[in-house]
Amino acid sequence: MTFTVEIIGKERCRLGESPVWDSEARVLYWVDSVAPSIWRYDPATGEQSYIPAPQTIGSIVLGRPGELVAGLTDGAYRVRFDTGEFTPIARPEALAPNERFNDGKADRQGRFVTGTMGTHLGAGRVGKLYRFSADGAWEILSTDPIEISNSTCFSPDGATLYFADSMRHMLWAFRYNPKTDLLGDKRDFFETSGFGSAPDGATVDAEGFVWLALVQAQKLVRISPQGRLDRVVESPAPLSSCPAFGGEDLDILYVTSISDSGGRLKSDVDASGRLLAFHGLGVRGIAEARCFL
């Protein structure tokens, strides 16, 4: 299948992550975790803009119209992009001093599910998986201790949570019951060690296939709901980090990338750190749920 890749704008993020398409506003948001900021791209005008974040930022999801919900170092925040205002929703006291929030997504019921990681290399498995709901309530979902939380996304029906600890090179599939604080049966879903890469960000298309960024392999892979490799897509950015579907018909795959994570990931290639748009892949995504926190 023939597809094209558009490299958008001239701005380069240090650690681009967490793209999310707002179907109502018809714009894409994403974050730079290391030079902490939230970015917005309007494909109708080509305009890119950003607001600074007060702390390291791991991920964002859609909030109420005109708002986002962000996972900063110490918790969940409500964000007004138009004013640059960050308002705390919940800052869990269970967070360790060397722990910060990282990858996250909204579940199909509109809660914010986001995992944590150590704030420095060698911090160990201090991470946990949190779920934030209305009125600032939060709970810890039952998983093994986590080193670097990543690849969080949900099946179209919301009954499966996909999640990875990047350092273990395995994407898991959990049976997901939104009415309890427990995750159901866990199964090994897709191992990435054969590609020489940890799993990074992920999303799900309308057919229930998982799109996973293999950050160290310069590839995206599409994985069937049964965990079989369906397609490998090469990226012009050596360190592609996270995909999300967007556009009028949700048929554009937007992908963030990394230029300098401040740790082990660095690239001087022109596409590094920039937003990519894959056109003509022949699949569509689904609209992400809004979090009404």
Contact criterion met (CB below 8 Å) for 22 and 38: no
**Tell me: domain 4-279, CATH 2.120.10.30, correct?**
yes
pLDDT at 122: 60
Residues of the chain scoring pLDDT < 70: 1, 120-123, 181
Active site residues: 200
Q: Sheet containing 240-246: which strands, arranged edge to edge?
A: 4-8, 275-279, 252-257, 240-246
Q: Cβ distance 248 to 207 under 8 Å?
A: no
**Under DSSP, is residue 134 helix (H, G, I), strand (E, B) or coil?**
helix
Specify the pTM. Answer: 0.96
- Give the list of residues 6+ apart from residue 179 with CB closer than 8 angstroms, or none: none
Collapsing DSSP to helix, strand or coil, 199 comes out as: strand
pLDDT score of 121: 63
User: What integer pLDDT is reported at residue 181 of this predicted model?
Assistant: 64
Domain locations along the chain:
4-279
What confidence score (pLDDT) does residue 177 get?
84
* Beta-strand relationship, 27-32 and 37-42: antiparallel
What Å distances lie between residue 90 and 7, 80, 94, 112, 272, CA to CA?
A: 36, 16, 11, 11, 33
- Is-contact 243 255, C-beta < 8 A? yes
Instruction: List the strands of the sheet with 199-204, edge to edge.
Output: 199-204, 210-214, 219-223, 229-234
Q: Give the length of the chain.
A: 293
**pLDDT number for residue 208:** 98
* Two tokens, residue 99: 């722990």
Residue 270's pLDDT is: 94
Model pLDDT, residue 143: 83
- Which long-range contacts (C-beta less than 8 Å, at least 24 apart) are formed by 87-96? 89/132, 89/136, 89/293, 90/132, 90/136, 90/137, 90/138, 92/130, 92/138, 94/128, 94/140, 96/126
Helix (H), strand (E) at residue 198? none
